[in-house]
Amino acid sequence: MGLKNKLHNFKEKNKDKKWLPGFNALFTFLYTPNETTHGGTHIKAADDLKRTMNTVILALVPCLIFGMFNAGYQHYLALGEIESAHGFLGASFWTLDNLWIGALTVLPLVAVSYGVGLAVEFIFAVIKGHEVEEGYLVTGMLVPLIVPVDIPLWMLAVAVIFGVVIGKEVFGGTGMNILNPALTIRAFLFFAYPTWMSGDKVWVHGAVERDQAIAAGQNLDAISGETLLGAYAQNSSLAGIDYWDMFWGIIPGSVGETSKFLIIIGALFLIFTKIGSWRIMLSTVIGALVMGLIFNGVVDAGWIGDTSKFYGLMSVPFWQHLIIGSILFGAVYMATDPVTAAQTNKGKWIYGFLIGFISIMIRVFNPAYPEGVFLAILLMNVFAPTIDHYVVQANVKKRMKRIKVKTA
């Protein structure tokens, strides 16, 4: 008798136990269940929730690996121990030293995210007596990619517990939540621990500790981990910043959000596998560009001077908004969440456009936190059902008019 059959028999003997959902989760992760349906007509397909989640994870893995290299690269660059890579294939970027530093800082974030999140899922499955859902598989990968590299692990653990419980389980679990769990975790971190989620010392590994040592009077060089958005918001000079470095992702930022090149590759992969909605991705980009064009028009018309605190981000060429922040990451991996996004085709266009439009608006009008994509997505998560409702009602009214015309 094979191991699979032994485990199946063990499951059958203990089917009344409260801990069985936890065992079933491990069993179905390793093996295809032995249960089959009986009677009626059934559609056979190779895809299921677990395979769908794994497909998204595959699209995120390149961003994770690149984020490890970038974490080490930004660390040594800030120390002045290496020269700028100047390009995606720069010799000083793809080194084992960079990967080692990145792995030491990023992998613990992944371990805490999955360990704490899945533990909460298992606890709720046992308490409620339902099977463990696979929805956290993607959330567990997204969370480490949208936080600063040096965020304390205990803060991340607290935020994950809050996000899974308040963002999903209180609504009934996977498929019932109205807010994206990963964004709920990010929002909790920002509002609960703002100094660890913004500022100019949080995006480079070791910058916070070195800054504290400097304050204590130790003889160390100061290090700035300021993001490009932060520099624009403060009207700082960006002399020497290469646009291609912004595109490739060789800049400070959250772990997995900097490389626009890899995000685009991931978007094409999700579209090809029919997992991500191209309508939401495209409309989000269009909305961001439209808002950027409006702000550029305001500056060109002279309605706002260079002394204004809003001038820096308003004057950014509209297309640069796509490569200096996390708008693309949000459009590809967050806004397309099939549970919290709009479901109708027309609703997806409206939903995505408003996300991009509002993201740039928040980015410009909130210089203290010049990144609005995650707040915009959470806002539109709430309004997605309303958008679908009015789209459906509009279609119903059109069809009713057609019926009246035919019967007249």
Provide the pLDDT for residue 218: 47
> Between these two residues, 203 and 326, which has the higher pLDDT value?
326
> Between these two residues, 257 and 177, which has the higher pLDDT value?
257
Output the average pLDDT for the chain.
Answer: 81
Provide the pLDDT for residue 74: 87
- What band does 135 get if pLDDT is binned at 50, 70 and 90? confident
Instruction: Kindly provide the b/e burial profile for residues 236-248, where b requires at least 16 CB atoms within 10 angstroms of the residue's own CB.
Output: eeeeeeeeebbbb
State what percent of residues in the chain have pLDDT above 70. 74
> Between these two residues, 88 and 74, which has the higher pLDDT value?
74
- Cβ atoms of residues 221 and 79 within 8 Å: yes
pLDDT average, residue stretch 319-348: 92
| pTM for the model | 0.85
d(CA 95, CA 85): 11
Is residue 2 pLDDT above 80, yes or no?
no
Please give the structure tokens belonging to residue 354: 């408003």
Residues 6+ apart with CB under 8 A from 19: 126
- Cβ atoms of residues 369 and 227 within 8 Å: no
Query: 278-316, pLDDT tens digit by residue?
Result: 999 999 999 999 999 999 999 888 888 777 777 778 888
Is residue 399 pLDDT above 80, yes or no?
yes
Cα 77 to Cα 57, 63, 69, 170, 181, distances in angstroms: 30, 20, 12, 44, 34
> Between these two residues, 219 and 328, which has the higher pLDDT value?
328
Provide the pLDDT for residue 45: 58
Is residue 210 pLDDT above 50, yes or no?
yes
Please give the structure tokens belonging to residue 159: 């935020």
Provide the pLDDT for residue 222: 46
3-state secondary structure the chain: CCHHHHHHHHHHHCCCCCCHHHHHHHHHHHCCCCCCCCCCCCCCCCCCHHHHHHHHHHHHHHHHHHHHHHHHHHHHHHHCCCCCCCCCCCCCCCCHHHHHHHHHHHHHHHHHHHHHHHHHHHHHHHHHCCCCCCCHHHHHHHHHHCCCCCCCHHHHHHHHHHHHHHHCHHHCCCCCCCCCHHHHHHHHHHHHCHHHCCCCCCCCCCHHHHHHHHHCCCCCCCCCCCCHHHHHHCCCCCCCCCHHHHHHCCCCCCCCCCCHHHHHHHHHHHHHCCCCCHHHHHHHHHHHHHHHHHHHHHHHCCCCCCCCCCHHHHCCCHHHHHCCCCHHHHHHHHCCCCCCCCCCHHHHHHHHHHHHHHHHHHHHHCCCCCCCHHHHHHHHHHHHHHHHHHHHHHHHHHHHHHHHHHHC
Helices 136-145 and 49-79 cross at an angle (nearest 10°) of 10
Query: 345-369, pLDDT tens digit by residue?
Result: 999 999 999 999 999 999 888 766 6
Tell me phi and psi for residue 227, to 5 degrees: -80, 165
d(CA 256, CA 147): 9
> Between these two residues, 314 and 220, which has the higher pLDDT value?
314
- Cβ atoms of residues 368 and 229 within 8 Å: no
Looking at 105-114, 199-208, 369-378, which range is the least confident one? 199-208
Token match 């929730």: residue? 49
Query: 85-96, pLDDT tens digit by residue?
Result: 666 677 788 889
Domain limits of the chain? 49-215, 276-388
Residues 6+ apart with CB under 8 A from 119: none
Provide the pLDDT for residue 220: 45
Provide the pLDDT for residue 47: 61
Q: How many CB atoms lie within 10 A of CB 124?
A: 19
- What band does 264 get if pLDDT is binned at 50, 70 and 90? very high
- What band does 156 get if pLDDT is binned at 50, 70 and 90? very high
Is residue 19 pLDDT above 90, yes or no?
no
pLDDT average, residue stretch 25-32: 57
Query: 75-87, pLDDT tens digit by residue?
Result: 888 887 777 766 6
Provide the pLDDT for residue 79: 80
- Cβ atoms of residues 352 and 282 within 8 Å: yes
- Cβ atoms of residues 88 and 248 within 8 Å: yes
Token match 């059109």: residue? 398
- What band does 221 get if pLDDT is binned at 50, 70 and 90? very low
Provide the pLDDT for residue 206: 72
Query: 95-112, pLDDT tens digit by residue?
Result: 899 999 999 999 999 999
